[in-house]
Amino acid sequence: MTRPAYPFAAIVGQEQLKMALLLAAVDWRLGVLLRGDKGAGKTTTARALADLLPRPARFVNLPIGVTEDRLLGGMDLGKTLKGEPELRPGLLAEASGGVLYVDEVNLLPDHLADALLDAAATGVSTVEREGFSAVQEARFVLLGSMNPEEGLLRPQLLDRFALAVDIFATHVVTERREVVERRLAYDTDAVNFVDRWTEEQIHLQQQIVVARARLSAVRCSSAMLDRISTRVCEHGVVSLRADLAIARASCAQAALLGAADVTEDHVDAVLPLALAHRAARSSQPSRSPQSSPPPNLAEKPEPPTRKQADEEAAGTEERRFSAMPLSTPELRWMADDGRSGATAARRGQAPGPVTRVRKSEMPAELDLRSSVRSALTETGQSKLRVQDLYEKVREPLVGSRFLFVVDSSGSHAARERMRAVKGAVAGLVERSLRRRDEVAVVVFRGESAEVLVEPTSDTAAVLAALEYLPTGGRTPLAHALELAQQYINEETLLLLLTDGRANVPSRTADAWADALEAAAKIRCAALVVDTELSSTAFGKAKELADVMHAEFISLASFEAGYDLPILLKSGAK
């Protein structure tokens, strides 16, 4: 006997989440992205929504390792072997009329994500295989969930979700207790628990049915469309998908509430759902056309004395410097046995999704469909030969995290060193990042460190944030390294750019001792870039690199045109 789904009406709190899902239930074009912590109830709520939809409504859970044939549809292998070739529907067609749920959608291969979102937007899925072609209806409510700690969606894919909700487990004790009590009651006797919520469930179902019937008659006036576009522009969002998502969601909200016309209240209610995931990456300032030009490299000002450098480092005046173009090397992460560090770090984990198949006489993972097809084409029989064998090629689930820890203290104002520092970061980002990699930036100056850029794959936002990063004040190096530890995972490459002149203590009265202690706790592949001027060198950055077991290079090498790859070891200590 199949256990009934947890009732949607029994979900505690999470009002924004429930509103977004009800809007999607009314207008299937409103795909919803659920972002949040593990154990916050994303999957439970997604499954509960399918139970509210008019019957029959399937809940299809899309596995991350799905193949393109299984997603879109392909040849029915059994019938093909019998000489009766026929196309088999894919998961997109099977989900039509129900809910298609993609857990960890940020780990879905990009080409599959593109196909999925295209079908979700158009309501049809086109399949073409071995001379056969079919167009299948695929009108489903698309729900995607992700934990941002495990990697982010490409900005282009993120924008394809009409609505997004950030979900956090409540910290209100009474609400947490209520969540646990209801879950325990459901686990003890699911049928009895569901019966207790039957009346509320029926009310929500009827509300959805009525709203669907009313939706086409809801009017969104020109004045409301002007208001929508104005608010979108105020948030600096470029994509027109935002305007369309707000307009559709406002109509769905009006239909749910029984209104014939969209009002300001309807628009304001859905704005956060449509803008949260778009405005975040548009909030960084664009590159200023008035930014100062790079310094004349032919000019060689007199180097400051050590006393002058120390005085400048302790100063509080902040200045802004534009990045100097530098020819930086490419970073490569290698394990001790010479293989990719990212691959080595994933040994023992579940394999990633299948991205393609290829011929192989010794396949690590046999692709039976392609192998049988090859045998039938070549010999007319299903008996496999060595030359018929194909293997599945899988992609790693996540990329690397490049964690930049950047010293923007006053010592980098000397001879405008901050221009070279910013140029080095920009060059390393542009040359070293691959698909699925992400960047985070921690900066330190004054009395403390801060996270300038949370982990993201939007490199344009990273470079824009660095462009406007001010320089000045003291050097809280220890605090920066302590803050960086919170962003380290097993896929992290840490890049520390500093002259090492720590002068703000963190735990004791000795700023340098605190910095060394924090550096010793770093447990990941790392590179220390020494930004110190050779004329006033103390050699502190080299000491940090030794304590961190990190690779070491000077910023002067970048300026001199150093272009050999930098190989970083896996960082397991």
Task: For the chain, state the CA radius of gyration.
Answer: 28
Instruction: Tell me what percent of the residues of the chain surpass a pLDDT of 90.
Output: 26
The SS3 call for residue 445 is strand
Q: Provide the CATH number for the domain around residue 68.
A: 3.40.50.300
Query: Six-digit token pair at 441?
Result: 């930036």
Under 8 Å between Cβ of 545 and 551: yes
Catalytic option among 241, 356, 369, 523: 241
Q: Based on the domain organization, do 124 and 273 belong to the same domain?
A: no
Tell me: do 124 and 171 sit in the same domain. yes
Looking at the fold, whether 492 and 549 belong to one and the same domain comes out as yes
Does any domain span residue 341? Answer: no
Same domain, 464 and 363: no
Has residue 463 been placed in a domain?
yes
What single-letter amino acid sits at 113? A
Residue 527 forms part of a structural domain:
yes
| pLDDT in single tens digits along all 573 residues of the chain | 678 889 998 988 888 888 999 999 998 889 899 888 777 778 888 888 888 888 778 888 888 777 777 888 777 766 766 666 677 778 888 888 888 888 888 777 777 887 888 888 888 887 776 666 777 888 888 888 887 766 677 777 788 889 999 888 778 888 889 989 999 999 999 999 999 999 999 999 999 999 999 999 999 999 999 999 999 988 888 888 899 999 999 999 999 999 999 999 999 999 999 988 887 443 433 333 333 333 343 344 444 444 444 444 444 567 778 887 877 777 776 644 444 444 433 444 445 666 678 888 888 788 887 888 888 888 888 788 888 898 887 766 567 889 999 999 988 887 788 888 888 888 888 887 776 788 899 999 999 999 998 888 778 888 888 888 888 888 999 999 999 999 998 788 999 999 998 999 988 999 999 999 999 999 888 999 998 876 566 788 999 999 999 989 888 888 777 666 676 766 544
Q: Which of 107, 97, 177 is nearest to 138 (CA)?
A: 97
Same domain flag for 507 and 362: no
306 is catalytic: no
298 occurs within a structural domain: no
Query: What integer pLDDT is reported at residue 572 of this predicted model?
Result: 46
In a domain, 297, yes or no: no
Looking at residue 535, what is its pLDDT?
Answer: 55
Do 389 and 444 sit in the same domain of this protein?
Answer: no
Bridge-based pairing of strands 163-167 and 32-36 is parallel
Structural domain harbouring 153: 8-215
User: Does 206 lie in the same domain as 112?
Assistant: yes
Q: Assess if residue 237 is contained within a domain.
A: yes
Secondary structure class of 358 (helix, strand, coil): strand
* Residue 96: both structure tokens together: 């039509």
Does 185 reside within a domain?
A: yes
Query: Are 189 and 269 within one domain?
Result: no
- Please give the pLDDT value at position 571: 54
Number of folded domains in the chain? 4
Q: What angle do CA 187, 191, 195 make, to 5 degrees?
A: 120
| 460 and 548 both lie in a single domain | yes
Residues 250 and 134 in one domain: no
Pairwise CA distance, residues 154 & 278, whole Å = 12
- Tell me, what amino acid is at 498? T
Whether residue 30 lies inside any domain: the answer is yes
Same domain, 96 and 147: yes
Using an 8 Å Cβ cutoff, are 539 and 502 in contact?
Answer: no
Q: How far apart are CA 387 and CA 80, in angstroms?
A: 21
Q: What's the CATH number where 277 sits? A: 1.10.8.80
Q: What is the Cα–Cα distance from 104 to 33, expressed in whole angstroms?
A: 10
Q: Distance of CA 81 to CAs 74, 274, 357, Å?
A: 14, 48, 20
User: What percent of the residues of the chain are helix, what percent strand, and what percent coil, each to the nearest 5?
Assistant: 40, 20, 40
118 and 188 belong to one structural domain: yes
Domain boundary among 394, 418, 443: 394
Name the domain boundary from 215, 243, 268: 215
